[in-house]
Amino acid sequence: MRRIRSANTKLEMAVRSLAHRLGFRFRLHRRDLPGRPDLVFPSKRKIIFVHGCFWHQHRGCIDGRTQKSNTRYWFPKLSNNKKRDKRNSAQLNRLGWKRLVVWECQTEDGKKLEQQLRAFLEP
Ligand SMILES: [Zn+2]
């Protein structure tokens, strides 16, 4: 658990520093929004979640596959995460927020990540 959490923080930092470098201003972890989004761009009404592929079960991604060992331990947790993500995104939609999920595997290629952020954040 601790390992996964610190890995997530690292991912988040990568996305944060890139967004910052591109000149976008944002706030972090607004508790008043469903799911406490990682990055919040209030003036644009846009938010970014940075998701670990395993933890949030990235579909079609090799790292999103549930481990064969310990399935009984992981499965309920992961499926709860998925349900929670779905619920949060529906709520955010209703509140008029546009949302982008940056997956762990998408942070490996800096160029692509930059394109992704620009496409989402630029008007
Ligand atoms: Zn992935």
Residues 55, 82: Cα–Cα separation, whole Å: 9
How far does the centroid of ligand 1 lie from the alpha carbon of residue 104, in Å?
A: 6
Residue by residue, DSSP assigns 50-104 as EE-TTTTT-TT-GGGSPPSTTHHHHHHHHHHHHHHHHHHHHHHHHTT-EEEEEEG
**What order of strands is seen across the sheet that includes strand 98-103?**
27-28, 39-41, 46-51, 98-103
What's the first-to-final CA gap in the chain, in angstroms?
Answer: 38
pLDDT at 46: 97
**Tens digits of per-residue pLDDT, 38-52?**
999 999 999 999 998
Amino acid identity for residue 44 in this structure: K
pTM comes to 0.86
How far does the centroid of ligand 1 lie from the alpha carbon of residue 5, in Å?
A: 16
How far does the centroid of ligand 1 lie from the alpha carbon of residue 12, in Å?
A: 14
**Tens digits of per-residue pLDDT, 92-105?**
999 999 999 999 99
Cβ atoms of residues 41 and 92 within 8 Å: no
